[in-house]
Structures are given as structure tokens and as C-alpha cells.
């Protein structure tokens, strides 16, 4: 199958519009329509339903999306790997929930670049379900998650725990219920949300974000509070931020996951060990 057919399908699926997809792909709308028609002939069923300006995936189209994504990504990775410099033996893809890059993975990647020679690194940030699917598709080598991957083909290693503490800006005082009237919600995963809901009910949210860095920057400019890793805010305590002492600390276990049959297991294990060392050196695991 022509990869361009799948790329066109995914672009139409993303934009829900043939004209906008054509602009993004630098094609005519007629060319986009022809590619979708050719794809439908190959799969033997329509992939979109078209009614006036309402373009929706059919059941066939919905089933095709993850496979099309995997094929396009795998092809892109194959082209990258065959064009590697002779001095660089392999390419490794590291993925994580967005907030974990800010916490420790960026530093781990920087150190690995020097310590693990002969590797070209690819760094990505995705939601957990996308990361797990990428591991299963073999288009990602190792992923860092807040929850272990529940699949027999994926090995999940408990890396470390991080301590999340409630911190607030000066004017909000020391009481959790009062501070939480101006709450910045950082996405720390399902387990965190369950524990938070057990302790606090009906909390109004000022802002949602998946990045702790965005929450921290917001608190530099506005009054508010947020659950953040102790390691990230330790040097700001007593200055712009203070601990809310009557709010519970919520610990999150981090997991490093990779496919059981990944041929680069040795290099993956080395990277995981290095990332554990990075967490320990940063003191992200205790408060």
C-alpha cells in the first residue's frame, strides 16, 4: 500500500475537512478525494461518511486509524534508521507523559547522550494510551508512565516514587480548603485523581495542564496553589511558594516500560538505570 494514502487519510481524519487537508498536504482537493477513494477500494469499505459539511469516520475508518498511525510512524523510523551515520549504530525512541520530561527525563537524556555512545535519540511526549500503543507497535523503545502497562508483551519496571505536595502562593495562607479555592490542576494520572478526590471534594479549578513547568510559571504570575513534585519547588519554599501543611502528600510510582522482545534491551536497561540515578541525585523521591 502507498504510504501517502495513509498519510492523506490521517490528515483528513485530523482536520475533518478535505479542503484543509489538501492545503496541509500541498495537494488539490481533487487529489485528496482520489486518494481516499483509492484507499477505500483497497480496504473494501468507506472510511468516511459525508453529509453536507459533516465528515465523520465510519467504523472501518475508526479501526483503521491506529494501524495507519503505526505504519506511517514505522516507515518514518525505518527511513531514519537506514540513513544513520556509520558512527551511530542504533536509534532509540524514549517517550513519556509530558510532565516527566520536566521532572527528570530531560537531564537523563542529556547525560545519556554522553554516556551511551553510538545512539541517536528520539524524544517524544504523549498520553499514556498512545505511549503503550507505540510500545506494542514497536515504534517506541521505552516509555515512562504513571501506571504500569497492563499487557503481557510489555515489561513494566518500577523506577522510583515521586512525592507530590500542595504548595501555594503567599496570600493564600496555610489552610488547604482555603488555598484550593484557587487550584491549578496538573495531570498526575488516574491514581492521583482518585486520591485527590478522596481528600478534597468539589474543588474549583483555575487551570488544567499536563506540564508542571506551566503550573509553576503560572504561580509565579498569579495567586494559586498546585500539587507539584517536592524536588521542583524545594528552592522556592519560603520565597514565592510555601507548603500547605494540612494537605496530604501524594506519592506516585513511576514505571519504565518496554517491549519484551525489543532487540535493544541492553541499551534500554542502561538508560533506565541512568534515569533512576538522575532521580536519586535530584532528590525527587523524598521530602
Give dist(CA 122, CA 116) in Å, integer: 14
Element (H, E) at 114: helix 106-115
Domains with residue ranges and CATH for the chain: 3-81 (1.10.10.10), 87-287 (3.40.190.290)
At 189, list the grid cell: 494520572
pTM > 0.75: yes or no = no
DSSP 18-74: HHHHHHHHT--HHHHHHHHHHHHHHHTS-SEEEETTEEEE-HHHHHHHHHHHHHHHH
Rounded to the nearest integer, the mean pLDDT of the chain is: 88
pLDDT digits (tens, 9 = 90+) for 10-50: 999 989 989 889 998 889 999 999 999 999 999 999 999 98
The counts of H helices and E strands in the chain are: 12, 11
- Number of Cβ within 10 Å of residue 278's Cβ equals 21
pLDDT of residue 238: 82
Element (H, E) at 138: none
Locate the DSSP E strands across the chain: 48-51, 54-57, 90-96, 119-125, 142-145, 154-168, 183-186, 205-209, 225-229, 242-243, 250-259
Task: Tell me phi and psi for residue 59, to 5 degrees.
Answer: -60, -40
Q: How confident is the model at residue 284 (pLDDT cuts 50, 70, 90)?
A: very low
**Is residue 16 within 8 Å of residue 57, measured between CB atoms?**
no
Give dist(CA 68, CA 84) in Å, integer: 25
pLDDT digits (tens, 9 = 90+) for 97-152: 888 888 888 888 888 888 888 888 889 998 888 899 889 888 899 999 988 888 88
pLDDT of residue 286: 41
pLDDT of residue 224: 94
Amino acid at each position: 500500500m502507498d504510504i501517502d494514502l495513509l498519510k492523506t487519510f490521517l490528515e483528513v481524519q485530523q482536520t475533518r475537512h478535505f479542503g484543509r487537508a489538501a492545503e496541509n498536504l500541498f495537494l488539490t482537493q481533487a487529489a485528496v478525494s482520489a486518494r481516499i477513494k483509492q484507499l477505500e477500494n483497497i480496504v473494501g469499505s468507506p472510511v468516511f461518511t459525508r453529509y453536507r459539511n459533516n465528515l465523520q469516520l465510519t467504523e472501518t475508518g475508526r479501526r483503521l486509524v491506529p494501524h495507519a498511525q503505526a505504519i506511517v510512524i514505522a516507515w518514518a523510523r525505518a527511513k531514519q534508521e537506514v540513513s544513520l551515520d556509520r558512527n551511530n549504530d542504533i536509534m532509540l525512541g524514549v517517550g513519556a507523559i509530558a510532565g516527566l520530561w520536566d521532572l527528570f527525563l530531560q537531564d537523563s537524556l542529556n547525560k545519556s547522550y554522553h554516556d551511551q555512545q553510538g545512539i541517536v535519540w528520539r524524544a517524544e511526549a504523549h498520553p499514556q494510551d498512545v505511549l503503550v500503543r507505540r510500545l506494542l507497535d514497536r515504534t517506541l523503545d521505552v516509555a515512562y508512565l504513571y501506571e504500569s502497562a497492563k499487557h503481557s508483551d510489555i515489561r513494566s519496571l518500577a523506577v522510583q516514587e515521586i512525592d507530590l505536595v500542595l504548595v501555594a502562593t503567599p496570600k493564600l495562607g496555610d489552610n488547604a480548603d482555603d488555598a484550593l479555592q484557587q487550584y491549578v490542576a496538573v495531570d498526575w494520572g488516574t491514581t492521583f485523581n482518585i486520591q485527590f478526590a478522596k481528600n478534597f471534594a468539589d474543588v474549583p479549578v483555575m487551570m488544567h495542564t499536563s506540564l508542571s513547568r506551566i503550573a509553576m510559571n503560572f504561580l509565579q504570575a498569579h495567586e494559586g496553589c498546585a500539587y507539584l513534585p517536592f524536588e521542583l519547588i524545594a528552592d522556592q519554599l519560603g520565597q514565592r511558594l510555601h507548603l500547605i501543611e494540612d494537605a496530604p502528600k501524594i506519592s506516585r510510582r513511576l514505571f519504565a516500560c518496554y517491549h519484551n522482545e525489543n532487540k535493544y534491551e541492553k541499551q534500554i536497561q542502561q538508560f533506565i538505570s541512568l534515569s533512576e540515578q538522575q532521580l536519586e541525585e535530584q532528590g525527587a523521591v523524598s521530602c
